[in-house]
């Protein structure tokens, strides 16, 4: 018990001295099949399973969550398009102002969605585990009738944030699992792979992109998806 208290005390001192934490996450979409599937379906499932690396920078009262760019984004763009239809997801959060700015890219155009920080109806449990050397606790909530969000957070890292748009727990979220009732064979998994302490660096607000609200962005996205589907039909008819 004394060792644990000493560790937490030293960790808090270190966080105060450096005042910045950088967490690496792997974002994956897992599909499982009970029955034998075709080779094409298996290849698609394997592509989904390969993680997309993200990084969360936390500096005082600000955080920035973004994809770690690779030399080739072909696989990533395909995966994000199928699951969410967008790419280049970057999220800037100002906890003092209670504002989140999300940068999304559709058809190689950047858009900024500025919104208030969402207060999720987390339900805390006493279930515990260990991730990256930290003790974590389970919390969850039903996002809607179809979606269950499960988080594992550590009180030992006193930042009330996490990957993607999820935050508001009494500690840093190190693992997220999102399951869907209508897709019992699949789930989204975001899990920390590394937690680093660093010297304080300024995190700049997001400025690149046209500012829109969520309704406006949905219309832009729907139009893009419609265009893509039409092009696929045309290409198929040409091939035939």
**What domains can you pick out in the chain, each with its CATH number?**
19-239 (2.50.20.10)
Output DSSP code: residue 35.
Answer: S
Output the six-digit token pair for 143.
């996002």
Do 150 and 178 meet the contact criterion of CB atoms below 8 Å apart? yes
Outline where 65-209 has alpha helix (H).
74-83
| pLDDT of res. 97 | 93
Q: How far apart are CA 62 and CA 92, in angstroms?
A: 7
Do 111 and 127 meet the contact criterion of CB atoms below 8 Å apart? no
| pLDDT of res. 79 | 40
Q: What is the pLDDT along the chain (240 residues), one digit of tens a residue?
A: 555 444 444 455 445 544 689 999 999 988 776 666 666 656 665 666 678 999 999 987 899 999 987 654 444 444 434 334 445 689 999 999 999 999 998 888 899 999 999 999 999 999 999 999 999 999 999 999 999 999 999 999 989 999 999 999 999 999 999 999 887 778 999 999 999 987 667 899 999 999 999 999 999 999 988 888 777 655 544 455
Do 179 and 76 meet the contact criterion of CB atoms below 8 Å apart? no
User: Is beta strand 210-212 parallel, antiparallel or unpaired with respect to 109-116?
Assistant: parallel
User: Is beta strand 52-59 parallel, antiparallel or unpaired with respect to 62-67?
Assistant: antiparallel
Residue 36 CB coordination number (10 Å)? 7
Q: What is the distance between the terminal CA atoms of the chain, rounded to a whole angstrom?
A: 71
| pLDDT of res. 89 | 82
> Helix (H, G, I), strand (E, B), or coil: what is residue 170?
coil
What pTM was computed for the model? 0.78
| Residue 91, strand partner residues | 65, 102
Do 113 and 210 meet the contact criterion of CB atoms below 8 Å apart? no
Instruction: Please say whether the dihedral angle defined by the alpha carbons of residues 150, 153, 159 and 164, taken in this order, is positive or negative.
Output: negative
């Amino acid at each position: 018990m004394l060792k644990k208290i000493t560790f937490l005390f030293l960790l808090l001192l270190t966080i105060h001295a450096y005042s910045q934490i950088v967490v690496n996450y792997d974002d994956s979409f897992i599909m499982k099949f009970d029955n034998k599937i075709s080779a094409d379906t298996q290849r698609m499932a394997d592509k989904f399973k390969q993680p997309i690396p993200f990084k969360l920078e936390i500096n005082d009262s600000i955080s920035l969550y973004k994809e770690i760019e690779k030399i080739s984004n072909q696989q990533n763009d395909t995966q994000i398009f199928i699951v969410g239809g967008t790419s280049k997801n970057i999220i800037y959060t100002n906890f003092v102002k209670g504002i989140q700015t999300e940068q999304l890219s559709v058809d190689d155009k950047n858009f900024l969605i500025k919104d208030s920080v969402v207060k999720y109806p987390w339900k805390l449990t006493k279930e515990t585990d260990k991730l990256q050397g930290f003790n974590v606790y389970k919390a969850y909530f039903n996002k809607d009738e179809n979606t269950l969000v499960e988080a594992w957070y550590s009180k030992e890292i006193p930042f009330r944030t996490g990957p993607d748009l999820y935050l508001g727990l009494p500690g840093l979220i190190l693992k997220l699992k999102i399951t869907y009732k209508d897709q019992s064979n699949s789930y989204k998994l975001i899990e920390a792979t590394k937690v680093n302490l660093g010297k304080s660096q300024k995190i700049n607000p997001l400025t690149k992109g046209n500012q829109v609200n969520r309704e406006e962005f949905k219309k832009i996205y729907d139009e893009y998806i419609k265009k893509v589907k039409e092009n696929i039909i045309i290409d198929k008819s040409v091939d035939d």
